[in-house]
Structure 1
Amino acid sequence: MMNAVWLNRAKFKKAVILPITASFLLTAGCSLSVDPPPVAKQEADLQDADRDGVINQRDECLGTPVGADINNSGCAEVLELSARDNLHILFANNSSRIPSTFLREVDQLARFMKSFPQTHVELKGYASTVGSAEANLALSQRRANAVKQALVRKGISPDRVVIMGFGESDPVASDSERQTEILSRRVTAAVAASEESVVMKWTIYSTAAK
């Protein structure tokens, strides 16, 4: 019987002590809630949009090609290639047939234009003063067109070639009249090209040039 009384009293004491303790903590000014941790404010852009290894905050050349060899500012190393090719073909009197000795000139120009697909060429035809001005104008145009057709047969698109005939309007000055006539029967052209290429960095997948 005493055991039962003791248990009841013990439960009573426990029930009374807990509210008193909680009340004491509240009246003492203590809080049971915890303040959230401070959040750091990130101002720098640490992303790497073009995946070149340089963060956006420091990248001066956004959009760098993947795999390019870059500097510390995120800019790729670029090589600039410039090239030029000239054509000069002489014709026989009153002829628009390309002499066999000048076919190599056509081959070289065709190879150049294939190497630089963005280039266009303007073929300028001329004639000597022998004959009428009207006939020489038409002859100069036929000469320029003969070179154009030779380029087309080499695989150059016709829309990349423009022809112009100047007739006898621009003779080549020489020591003799005969020499002037020979040098004036001509087709000339000059083509310039410029290209930029990005230097790619070596990886374990790169293939060495053979």
Structure 2
Amino acid sequence: MISPVIFIFSLLLSSSQAAVQDFCVADFEFPESPAGYACKKPAAVTVNDFVFSGLGIPGNTSNLIKAGVITAFASDFPGVNGLGISMARADIAVGGVIPFHTHPGASEVLLVVEGTVFAGLVSSTNEVYTQTLQKGDIMVFPQGLLHFSLNAGNSTAVEFVSFSSATPGLQFVPFALFGNDLPTDIIAATTFLDEAEIMKLKAILGGTG
């Protein structure tokens, strides 16, 4: 006869095993939802879903901001889907900058691995926090707060950043204002900028209207 204690323990063990889902590798055959991507069937998952090699390649800095960003979000790296983590790499050439931006869905930790970076954030009470960072230094940016980083040295700077979400989101302030069809008069009214300056910035960033 099975001991009642052993019987109950075996029931609890089997129940806990049945309730555990080890992972939810993104299935790109279905659209992303606010909750993330749908899960691949376990039989379709391979080791390649858990490996991402893109961060070993420098980003392209031949652009307006002289910076290149490579992301390892759920949309790039299916294995992190649902895990609450992701990463990215930023290469910033001399004179380059990662402009003011936010991550609506995650906090960020920045690690400088090469060069010198001047970085900062602005709190919701408009307090400004800035620091010059050297190789090995890290800085944290709380979720949703505006922040930036720029190359403060005479050689290319490289940052590795981690996020507290597989889908942190990314919105650059300059492009949100001047890189779309938001009417110039609305921008002028809400930012107090001169319309001529707004049109100049739209011409640079690809905006219209």
- Structure 2 length-normalised TM: 0.28
Q: Greater RCO between the two (CA within 8 Å, min separation 6)?
A: 1
Which of the pair has more CA radius of gyration? 1
Structure with more of its chain in strand, by fraction? 2
Structure with more of its chain in helix, by fraction? 1
